[in-house]
Amino acid sequence: MSWLCYLLECADGTLYTGITNDLDKRLDAHNGGTASKYTRSRLPVRLVYAEPHADRSSASRREAALKKMSRTAKLALAAENAKNTGSPSPANGNTIATP
């Protein structure tokens, strides 16, 4: 089972970082208002960055590192990812980065 560390942009422009092993299910939960208290009041959310990890531990470490980054650095990471990956994945509209 692979894990992902992801970055969401909320409707109010704030950013949310999390981890999951099922990105589509987690995004549905966020947009359904059942994933976290933070995003529940800031709907809808939009995926701006995600990167795969081999296990939960490495995804959690990356999540902690992303949370320590400035907003500007997070947005730059998302912009660089969008530039490098081109168009979003056709299956779900999400852009996935490879580390």
Q: With 0-12 CB in 10 A as exposed, 13-18 as middle and 19+ as buried, what is 59?
A: buried
CATH for 12: 3.40.1440.10
pTM of the predicted structure, to 2 decimals? 0.84
Residue 98: inside a domain, yes or no? no
Q: How many domains does one find in the chain? A: 1
The amino acid occupying position 90 is P
79 occurs within a structural domain: yes
pLDDT per residue over 41-95, tens digit each? 999 999 999 999 999 999 999 999 999 999 999 999 988 888 877 634 323 344 4
**Structural domain boundaries enclosing 32:** 3-85
Give dist(CA 42, CA 33) in Å, integer: 9
Asked if residue 12 is part of any domain, the answer here is: yes
